[in-house]
A and B are shown apart, each in its own frame.
Chain A
């Protein structure tokens, strides 16, 4: 069996090993490579199971994807419990310990700077969800031009009213994107005003049509302030059919990418 190393995260050299955790392949093989001042946590896996053709073939297998996600996140959560980590994207593989160790040595300064920046912090995600019908109604209230068409529709005779309603529907679609983005900007501004933290906002386009979201990096002891803010914002936007879902804490996936290397 040709083994490769499935690498989860990079941490400082003395970062504790998590105990009794299932690895990415369901085994209990989690170990580390140390190259002071850093270490990297990995599991040795069968290279055949983690080859490109196999992963491509299995990528449509929801159960397999779910298992990967569950195991990877379980390991990451356990590592987070021991201190600051730099999470690597899933399926980061190294051929052997020597190459992993060399990588740590080469990039020690950059990784150490990232760890310093992430110390004591956690990532949370605020997903902003728009109920289609209620948001559509809210648009008429929020957007002057739509309000004007709606008012004209009410006064218009039958045929004209029909045409105005069609016009209103078309204008709503055009206005919706901009209005959604305005809500996202308002939420992000509120987060930054209350918590003075780093944020990464993702639009619907960036999320391939999924709801927009804002990832925030806050101090570990600020969770309750973020929860309070979410409740305040939820009250503010609920009448427009907008809800805010808060998930976390996550490993700092969205904020560790100072190490993104060029091809």
Chain B
């Protein structure tokens, strides 16, 4: 007889009782999105790693206060994001996404022509560069929603704002981004 894998709720319950392996299993499920969230906030891989590890450790200690049955991911992201905010360094330490786009981004199209690849890469680099010009709060809300594909609820938890604020801030940030790109709504 093959036993089914434990559910998230069961793993949370085991982790609450101090089972590090159960917590490790939960972390494995969410570590990539948590690390990327931390990276977009701290803008530095070393800071992001420290933020994610510290956040997970704090989450482990705070599990007894975690509301039973609530989704784990937004709760974890909120803790990790808070750690990342505390580790933000001065601007010169931050990695520029635009630079990464210009030099490293592969084409997202299937087998594009060389000219098409160059054009697509340039358009992405332009879009990322425009994103970088936004205020932090606007850049982060768009990053959460579109670059990390977080839901409104997860974005709200990560940025510690209301869900309604996520909507209004996203709308405003998109307007600014269009203006930066010289496009009309």
A binds B: no
A positions within 8 Å CB-CB of B: none
